Structure formats: structure tokens, C-alpha cells
Amino acid sequence: MTTKTHALAKSESALVPVMGLILLGAAILFTAGFAQAEMLHDSAHDVRHSIGFACH
Ligand SMILES: [Zn+2]
């Protein structure tokens, strides 16, 4: 292994936690956004049924 490839491997391994954090953040944002959208949909659905608005 040359010094160059060693340095490259080192910088790539340093990127792994950063990429992991980005993916984790994206996953949390996506999950939170989806859960919130589902919650909003459910509450809007309940309101529609409670006022007798045709929805199905
Ligand atoms: Zn409905």
C-alpha cells in the first residue's frame, strides 16, 4: 500500500460517519414528516366524518 492510497482510504473512512449522520438525519426527517402527514391526514379524516362530509 502506498502512502497515497493509505491517505485516500483514511479520508474515505472519515467520510463514513458523516455520511451516516446525513442518512440518519434524512431518515429522521422523513419519518417525522411522514408521521406528521399521517397524523394530519387522520385528524382531517376524523373531522370530515364528524361533519358528515362524504369522503369514502
Ligand atoms: Zn373517511
Residue 49 reports pLDDT greater than 70: yes
- Got the DSSP string for 2-53? -HHHHHHHHHHHHHHHHHHHHHHHHHHHHHHHHHHHHHHHHHHHHHHHHTT-
Q: Record the pTM.
A: 0.48
Nearby residues for ligand 1 (ion, Cβ within 5 Å)? 55-56
Q: How far is the CA of 42 from the centre of ligand 1 (A)?
A: 9
pLDDT tens readout for residues 23-45: 999 999 999 999 999 999 999 99
Q: How far is the CA of 9 from the centre of ligand 1 (A)?
A: 55
Q: How far is the CA of 39 from the centre of ligand 1 (A)?
A: 14
Q: How far is the CA of 55 from the centre of ligand 1 (A)?
A: 5
